[in-house]
Structure 1
């Protein structure tokens, strides 16, 4: 098995695929390592999820993305990116998790769950969906608590608390309610998030106003028990009956992995990794970032549509170094 490459791309999501396409077009000897199936993060999105972006904004390498509606669903995206990988015969190893990366001189050594590789350049396109923002409260480890949401059928007829006010939380609340769940929203701020999809936000506000879905604003979840939860609402504790908790409070990049590689990260709450926006190269020579990982904790700043260009910037920089 071949183990030495010009470029190894860690992460086989849309931006990792874009990097692979660009590398192949420019004659680089590359490999994409993906710890799960093709576009693993998208595969774990909710079954009925609809993207905020239109299909043309999710396109990579100018390959047309045709969807039934202007804004595609999860399964359409899975089909689109899978066909790109297979039709272009991209060199991608699936279900192969990267466990460590070390650099000696100008060479990176990558240890995966299946093999050992060497490369002069690495792209981290690992996104942010793997590590949830924990509540760090008693009872969070109970089986009734989930930080990921898939299908509303599971929660039919149950008392469900949804923690959060972003797209994932609001989608889950509406879907579960429509499948017969008794839904309670726990929202830290004083309103539904302003970034919620514009066609969804009026829906959830109307459901709250008509009391179909109960919402506690300026509230936090402080304790989870087998048959109840305790909220703190404007300084007062309230206990309500509960069967399941969907703690959809967002996700974050793997900062430990970045720091292990020597990438500098800002000391403030944003935790921005250091990189050159002209080349996407970090402070570690030969190590590049692509996609949402560039935004640190500001996970709303980078999407497929505005980070597709990272692939061209990275490959252009690698080629310029090879020509010296």
Structure 2
């Protein structure tokens, strides 16, 4: 059983930031990532452009040069790949952590491939892997997806896009521009206020001119092979439909944290409890970093404002770990 000083769970930008701090200090560490490197970004839509500018996505002052101020998905993937390879960061990809248990002064980390011991554990697992389900009949049909990659499969198809966030608006506009017949089904009263400021007016105008149909204060009730049904405050509606993109958001794997024994706030946001100065949880030696810190409040932490977590953790560990 391999023994580490630090194991980092999650190979996204914040997990990489934590690894950079470990590498600088000569600690014996590794990242364990259940998918590809920066798996969440890899699963973003092919043409997605970040809300943040490139300098706000940089790690450890390593320059991120992009063609435009706001980089796209491919530029981000290349940047984080180069950060990992140029700094020889240690990482195990396509390996899923199944359990973390503390045994006296060591953590036992069990994956689907191996078992490890570590003095400290950092969880930086993000939230993009678990979609928020509609919980309606027909949601498991092959025509339904909770992720959008590209518009090509939806050309000349009747597509229902559920939601009004960045992901749903981007998908609806791209599919419409490729020739899809798009209907948006939105639970709220309008397109979300958090939608990128240069995109939201485009969507509002497309709805106003009738290019994209939209139903507000609407809730899906049933999905069938050739139709989708939903109700508004005024009526129940069924429309013809070929594909459904249920882009209603994603949630962190909080059950994983709870099974480890991490304490949570007593509110609907289910925020894990941790020391904001050190990022250490109620379990001594176990730290949180990145989006996972917000619990269900997934819009609180981003790459740009949670990069500091890596330094807070490393500074706390400076007084604990001996260089290995």
Superposition TM-score, scaled by structure 2 size: 0.98
The CA distance in 2 between the partners of 1:7 and 1:92, in whole Å, is: 12
The aligned length equals 322
The answer for the alignment partner of 2:102 in structure 1 is 103
1:49 deviates by 0.3
The CA distance in 2 between the partners of 1:156 and 1:277, in whole Å, is: 48
Mapped pair 1:291 → 2:290: yes
Asked if structure 1 preserves the Cα contact closer than 8 Å seen for 2:160 and 2:244, the reply is yes
The answer for the alignment partner of 1:9 in structure 2 is 8
RMSD: 0.9
1:101 deviates by 1.2
Gaps of 5+ in 2: none
The answer for the alignment partner of 1:227 in structure 2 is 226
1:167 deviates by 0.2
Provide Cα deviations, 1:194-229, integer angstroms capped at 9, x if missing partner: 000000000000000000000101111111000001
The answer for the alignment partner of 1:120 in structure 2 is 119
The CA distance in 2 between the partners of 1:45 and 1:265, in whole Å, is: 29
1:193 deviates by 0.3
Gaps of 5+ in 1: none
Asked if structure 1 preserves the Cα contact closer than 8 Å seen for 2:252 and 2:296, the reply is yes
Matches within 5 A, 1:211-226: 211-226=210-225
The CA distance in 2 between the partners of 1:122 and 1:218, in whole Å, is: 44
The CA distance in 1 between the partners of 2:235 and 2:194, in whole Å, is: 28
1:235 deviates by 4.5
SS in 2 for 1:52: coil
1:267 deviates by 3.0
The CA distance in 1 between the partners of 2:108 and 2:49, in whole Å, is: 39
The answer for the alignment partner of 1:304 in structure 2 is 303
The answer for the alignment partner of 1:144 in structure 2 is 143
SS in 1 for 2:274: coil
The answer for the alignment partner of 2:190 in structure 1 is 191
SS in 1 for 2:187: coil
1:322 deviates by 3.5
Asked if structure 1 preserves the Cα contact closer than 8 Å seen for 2:159 and 2:180, the reply is yes
1:244 deviates by 0.5
SS in 2 for 1:312: helix
Provide Cα deviations, 1:73-122, integer angstroms capped at 9, x if missing partner: 00000000000100100011111111111111111101112211000110
The answer for the alignment partner of 1:157 in structure 2 is 156
SS in 1 for 2:214: strand
1:35 deviates by 1.0
The CA distance in 1 between the partners of 2:115 and 2:42, in whole Å, is: 26
The answer for the alignment partner of 2:55 in structure 1 is 56
Mapped pair 1:239 → 2:222: no
The CA distance in 2 between the partners of 1:50 and 1:215, in whole Å, is: 24
Mapped pair 1:41 → 2:43: no
Mapped pair 1:84 → 2:56: no
SS in 2 for 1:120: strand
